[in-house]
Structure 1
Amino acid sequence: MRKKIIARPIVQLCFTIVTLFILWSCNSDSGSNSRGIEVIDIEEALKNAGEVKLSDYASEIRYYTLESDTSALLGRIADVSMDENHIFIPSSDFMKTLHVFARDGKFIRNVGSKGRAKGEFMAIRSIIPLEDRNAVMVEGGNKAVIYSLDDVKTWEDIPFDKFLAGQESTSRQFNGRMVTSYSQNIQNIGYDGKGNFYLLTMDKKNGEQWLVMTDSTLEKKWEMELRRPVKKELKMKLPNGALVQFPPAYYSGSLYLNDGECVFFHWLKDTAYIVKENCITPRLAVDYGRFRKIENAGNEDDISAHIEYESKSLIFLSMRIPELFDEYADKNGNGHLIYDKIKNRAILLKPYEDATDESHGNVCGAFYNDLDNGMPFWPLAIQGKSMFSFCDAGKFMELSRKYNSPKMKEIASRINEESNPVLIEVVLK
């Protein structure tokens, strides 16, 4: 049995070497290949499960109060995005607008509104800062709107759906109104800070997936068909042990930008690729070792990982945890891992009762906060050399009494239970 476990990485390595040789000619900049392919070893991460000190990776922790302006009262923060000078948070009332705060927590203004008219959005699916234009883009599916941060009345509609050629539509009644759904949609949008957008599109009928590069003029610079995703039945265990089965659907991957490079992470192939014009190059792989999913097995035992964020030194992942390591999982069976890019080491983080994922409300794996002896920390966003998280004001006040952090106690003395959540910034080394 052990021989099989060892043989699989050797086969993968041979495939990777051949793939790199083939792709070398399509990459005029050999820097990506010269770095080699990083491998995140899940077996190692589970063996290394335990406490990770924040001071190992960070030099300072700061706490800010988000100004409780009457036009920006926040509940649970489900999403957040940042640039060098701003914090962008969707409103709690069904995302009807986008709140803009300064990095020190001071409220600046609201931008945009929910609706079907020009300059309005139907949903806030992703928030993309455009620092080179001092603007922010709100993307809600196949349409996006760019709002200027210099002049709140200046906006620009970006109809990205023009790239979804020949899509079919179906209509149905829902809550007394007609709702139209399309066979093709835009799954992710990335921005490289140089005027270029990367659109990850998918046809829900056959799973075809394309990556399109364009700019705000919607001039198509190039497009590439990506590896076709796999159609699966999704089964999910509920906290009470019940098993829920969903209809078959295509599960593919996600797109993010790292240091200006477009990275496509294929969930089912466990591989991340750097994508350039007419070229896709393997960048990192996730190796599950003996926990690798058996083909055709029910995915209630699937332990596939998902990349959440990446900094210069760390990759942050969430993952379904094998039952053998239940003590490291939240009530839904999920856990948090980090991959140290400097030490080439993966670690499953110990969960803490006081480490709550504000976007889902679950107890989760986190860093032990030895910087100021405060509450445990897990990032909800990363920008530059800083990681960010939030904590409900009432809970923050409670935790300030539990932990011996002078910084937490000082902030707690200036807020009440009705205040906006507290912003936590951790400065990476």
Structure 2
Amino acid sequence: MRSRLHFIAALFIWALIFINNSTFASWPNDPELKIIDIEKAIESNAGVNLSEYGASIRYIALDDSDIMLSVHPRMKVIHSTNDVITLTHTGSNACSQFSVSDGKYIRSFIQYGRSSKEYINIGGMDTSEDGNLIALLDYTKILLYTSKGEFVKSLPLDAENTGSNQGIAFIGNDRLFFVIMDYSNHEHYGYVTDLNGNILHKEKLSESMFVGREYMKELGTYVDKIVNQSYIDCGKSIDLVSQLTDTLYNVTPKLKKVPYAFMDFGRYRSKSPKEDHQELRGASILTTDFAGCSRFILFKVMILPKSSPLSNFERMTFIILDKVNGKTYSMKYNNSLKCWGMKNDLDNGAPFLPRSIVGNRMYQIIDAITFMDLASKSNSAKMKEVAAKLTEESNPVIVEVTLK
């Protein structure tokens, strides 16, 4: 089993803001820091083969006889065994479980409501290292359930710091790590507690950096200009991405931040990150799409509207930083397939974009209509076999890739 800090972003939108003594992102003096060439990655279209990281792939069509699910940003795989896969989603229940072998529905639990056993908001969910417990971070409490859906207890949150709850993680089997943003001053606090709610560590992690809002006719909507920080689950550790310093940090279980990589935006960072965001120029790391493990981290970069007349999809690039070989890969939007992802050379199927990594497996969830369309355009016999059994009303399909 893994020992890790795991954040679900639900939408895992995790838009935490990091302020340190530096106001401007500048070239680091620390020779130990790795340099990530973001400019080159944005402008490159080399991509990466799925076989670089994956050993095998399979498709699990979820049974729709007892439950209907729709794909949304908060739907993710949070735990899996050889027999059972656990999803988190919103609705009347926060969790559902399915059989790995045939996708048959098993159970749903953690009901929506206002009792001490129910949830109102999913600020994050995670499972313990041994897989026996599931924790859900709500507005004012943490719910603990067994992996079979039995209620264990409700832990009240620190009354001094309540607001927007930004994610929760188990540390092993007996500690919890979570982040809360205080609405009164927009400060973010990290906590480590035991399973009785006793606070073992508490640190102010950051302050907010909201730099304005502007209507963009190119996008047809208002854009919040925020300098962000977000966390990426990396299996046995957690990584922090800070836009204000263009730096990647490793975060310890005692909430200490250790810098290990600098992101060089090149011509996409003409001024400080704050000024670039105020003017909606340059490039920005988005806080909705992250995945990571001990081998690599994956995040999304957007070319800001005033820098280039691109479509909303074309201005997005997913970037992989390989922690082992130090290389950086980009995955641009595929206009013909209308998706992003690693080139699937495992079975010649559709591009694969991991939305969560659990243990030694990567997961993506695709709605039935999209899956059928991708299968028709691919050369994967496995995809076509699964798609032939689907209808437009079918439940989503889970794509599972086992890591090397």
Q: What's the TM-score, normalizing by structure 1?
A: 0.76
What is the aligned partner in structure 2 of residue 350 from structure 1? 332
Q: Do residues 260 (structure 1) and 239 (structure 2) align?
A: no
123-132 or 374-383, which deviates more: 123-132
Q: Do residues 143 (structure 1) and 138 (structure 2) align?
A: no
Residue identity matched to 1:264: L
> What do the CA deviations read for 1:311-353 (whole angstroms, capped 9, x no partner)?
22221011112577777x6438322111122221212213224
Residue identity matched to 2:281: D
What is the aligned partner in structure 2 of residue 312 from structure 1? 294
Distance 1:330 1:82, change over 3 A: same
Larger helix percent: 1
Distance 1:346 1:303, change over 3 A: same
Aligned equivalents of 2:319 and 2:284: distance in 1? Answer: 12
Aligned equivalents of 1:401 and 1:335: distance in 2? Answer: 25
Matches within 5 A, 1:313-352: 313-321=295-303, 330-331=312-313, 333-352=315-334
- Give the aligned CA root-mean-square deviation in angstroms: 3.0
Deviation at 1:299, TM superposition (A): 4.5
Contact 1:90 1:124 in 2 (8 A): no
Matches within 5 A, 1:5-404: 12-14=27-29, 16=30, 36-70=32-66, 72-78=67-73, 79-85=75-81, 86-90=84-88, 94=91, 96-104=93-101, 105-132=103-130, 134-150=132-148, 152-160=149-157, 162=158, 164-165=159-160, 184-235=163-214, 237=216, 240-242=218-220, 244=222, 246=224, 252-276=228-252, 277=254, 279-295=256-272, 296-297=275-276, 298-306=278-286, 308-321=290-303, 330-331=312-313, 333-353=315-335, 363-404=338-379
Deviation at 1:111, TM superposition (A): 0.7
> What do the CA deviations read for 1:162-197 (whole angstroms, capped 9, x no partner)?
2x41x6xxxxxxxxxxxxxx6x44322222224222
Deviation at 1:157, TM superposition (A): 1.0
Higher relative CO (Cα under 8 Å, sequence separation at least 6) belongs to 2
Residue identity matched to 2:76: V
Aligned equivalents of 1:301 and 1:119: distance in 2? Answer: 46
Q: 5+ unaligned residues in a row in structure 2: which ranges?
A: 1-23
User: SS in structure 2 opposite 1:101?
Assistant: strand
Distance 1:231 1:330, change over 3 A: closer
Aligned equivalents of 2:25 and 2:105: distance in 1? Answer: 54
Q: What percentage of residue pairs aligned between the two structures are identical? A: 25
What is the aligned partner in structure 1 of residue 9 from structure 2? none
Distance 1:351 1:339, change over 3 A: same
Contact 2:97 2:108 in 1 (8 A): yes
Q: What's the TM-score, normalizing by structure 2?
A: 0.80
Runs of 4+ in structure 1 over 6 Å off: 323-327
> What do the CA deviations read for 1:377-400 (whole angstroms, capped 9, x no partner)?
111211122211122223323332
Aligned equivalents of 2:309 and 2:78: distance in 1? Answer: 34
Aligned equivalents of 1:314 and 1:326: distance in 2? Answer: 31
Deviation at 1:121, TM superposition (A): 0.2
Q: 5+ unaligned residues in a row in structure 1: which ranges?
A: 1-8, 18-35, 168-181, 356-362
What is the aligned partner in structure 1 of residue 12 from structure 2? none
Larger Rg: 1
Aligned equivalents of 2:389 and 2:180: distance in 1? Answer: 47
> What do the CA deviations read for 1:230-252 (whole angstroms, capped 9, x no partner)?
231144646x5446255x8x755
> What do the CA deviations read for 1:366-387 (whole angstroms, capped 9, x no partner)?
1122221211211121112221
Aligned equivalents of 1:208 and 1:191: distance in 2? Answer: 23
Distance 1:252 1:52, change over 3 A: closer
User: SS in structure 2 opposite 1:116?
Assistant: coil
